[in-house]
Structure 1
């Protein structure tokens, strides 16, 4: 690889995909844990880069960085990321954007449409082909995040402790997790990355998706996402709706059923936005 390289990053709350690209199109990819300036200070972000990114690349060779990240929704939070990156990549011109713009560019390119993120958390926007023109605010795992892993995990935990879950699912859940009220409350209120903890129950939901209770829980979460978010956009039934994120990707069959009920025309479903972002910035 040469000394004139672009670095593109797509960061959620759980993982960050980094792709280093030279002038010949040669690529090198690295995956680190997720970075979110709402949950991590500069020192914590620097520690991630020190341990998980820096050893695998040559910072002095990077001349452009396009970073799209969860939590980069204000100038102040974008500046936090920019400052940390600038300390590593002293030669680079750095652009820091919200992960929602990254999703829109990856999914829609230069065409108008609705872009949705369904991963650990959720978000959505109407994209006019150049920028985000409408956004139903995402209120995070406490007040929103409908359709996300955190939202589904939270509902599963509520149902478990309130005795709503069927006996056979309780037995499977206990064998795998054996949770207590104390352990759950500690993880959510005292430990770092509570949304990631709640979303960690997503594999259990996926493994048991054929069970009526589990499918109903997942369906209800998607239904809420469409009714509270997507349906708020102008002409939402006349444009294509696109998705990125692990929850959208792995639960796509249920997602498509829910979208169909809502009269929504679906288009792309990506596990990660990184490939679409590479196409956007290179082609």
Structure 2
């Protein structure tokens, strides 16, 4: 049995395949971002899942694509967790989540830019054969433009500074606990501060037709497109720009408008990459 895993900071999709590519089961855990979680929490989130723990000794291959796995130390940290739990696995492959987005959207031999807009954000270039990462993400504090956590931070700041329209501000405070103590506890004491910030993006999506929300949305998208696409890839206007993630999916009308403003062509816009990722691995099983 092999496990194909797509992990963001908020949630993780697991699909088990037999040795001949048949679907065995699908399950979900909380996000497994090794940049913001300890080994103890990572391990707990996996072993508390009934299907995964029950079948842990049957796993011969694990293919994990995750947020926070772009550098060596986080990959090593989560590998130690996998080694401890899935002791019978002959092969454990850990790659950044941009590879999952790539396998779900890009066509072999065709150049494209592949972006992630979910809890966090990221972008890579596919030259038709290999993936090229121009900018290594520094996480939600310094990067992640147009992500769920970016928009959450923008909403909280505008609310606290009085920049949000009064009628929206009143609606905002009825839906969330916006006391300073609660916000600071989530940001500086509790795990997953990026995921906490991303919970506020729902408000932006649900009220996206409001002029204020349109302004916030398009500012964030413009920053992302400028920083991650236009400034990095001189040929961006000549190739499709693919997107994976809930923010890109639910805000795709605004996303297409911003792309048009930069003279860029939208490609596929998917909510999640797991189906394309599984198809990729099934193909490799059949070819083996």
Q: Tell me which interval the TM-score lies in, with the shorter structure as reference length.
A: over 0.9
- One of 62, 72, 76 as aligned partner of 1:75: 72
Q: Measure, in 2, the Cα distance between the counterparts of 1:85 and 1:234.
A: 39
Q: State the match for 2:193 in structure 1.
A: 194
Kindly report the root-mean-square deviation, in angstroms, between the aligned alpha carbons of the 2 structures: 1.6
Q: State the match for 1:21 in structure 2.
A: 17
Q: State the match for 2:49 in structure 1.
A: 52
Q: Measure, in 2, the Cα distance between the counterparts of 1:54 and 1:68.
A: 19
Q: Measure, in 2, the Cα distance between the counterparts of 1:24 and 1:198.
A: 38
Q: State the match for 1:106 in structure 2.
A: 104
Tell me if structure 1 keeps the 8 A contact 2:21–2:282.
no
TM-fit CA distance, 1:56: 6.2
Matched, 1:249 2:249: yes
Q: Measure, in 1, the Cα distance between the counterparts of 2:107 and 2:22.
A: 19
TM-fit CA distance, 1:55: 4.9
Matched, 1:61 2:51: no
Shift in alpha-carbon separation, 1:235–1:165, aligned structure 2, 3 A: same
Tell me if structure 2 keeps the 8 A contact 1:109–1:280.
no
Q: State the match for 2:87 in structure 1.
A: 90
Tell me if structure 2 keeps the 8 A contact 1:32–1:53.
no
Q: Measure, in 2, the Cα distance between the counterparts of 1:85 and 1:134.
A: 25
Q: Measure, in 2, the Cα distance between the counterparts of 1:104 and 1:264.
A: 18
Shift in alpha-carbon separation, 1:24–1:39, aligned structure 2, 3 A: closer
Q: Measure, in 2, the Cα distance between the counterparts of 1:178 and 1:74.
A: 35
Q: State the match for 1:38 in structure 2.
A: 35
- One of 5, 27, 32 as aligned partner of 1:9: 5
Tell me if structure 1 keeps the 8 A contact 2:27–2:51.
no
- Equivalenced residue count is 279
Q: Measure, in 2, the Cα distance between the counterparts of 1:97 and 1:206.
A: 30
Matched, 1:282 2:288: no
TM-fit CA distance, 1:142: 1.4
Tell me if structure 2 keeps the 8 A contact 1:115–1:242.
yes
**Stretch moving more, 44-53 or 152-161:** 44-53
Tell me if structure 2 keeps the 8 A contact 1:19–1:30.
yes
Q: Measure, in 2, the Cα distance between the counterparts of 1:165 and 1:24.
A: 51
Q: Measure, in 1, the Cα distance between the counterparts of 2:52 and 2:10.
A: 20
Tell me if structure 1 keeps the 8 A contact 2:46–2:53.
no
Q: Describe the SS at the equivalent of 2:202.
A: helix
Gaps of 5+ in 2: 284-288
Q: Measure, in 2, the Cα distance between the counterparts of 1:34 and 1:221.
A: 23
Tell me if structure 1 keeps the 8 A contact 2:34–2:68.
yes
Q: Measure, in 2, the Cα distance between the counterparts of 1:237 and 1:134.
A: 18
Q: State the match for 1:210 in structure 2.
A: 209
Gaps of 5+ in 1: none
Q: Describe the SS at the equivalent of 1:140.
A: coil
Tell me if structure 1 keeps the 8 A contact 2:15–2:23.
no
Q: State the match for 1:234 in structure 2.
A: 234
TM-fit CA distance, 1:109: 4.5
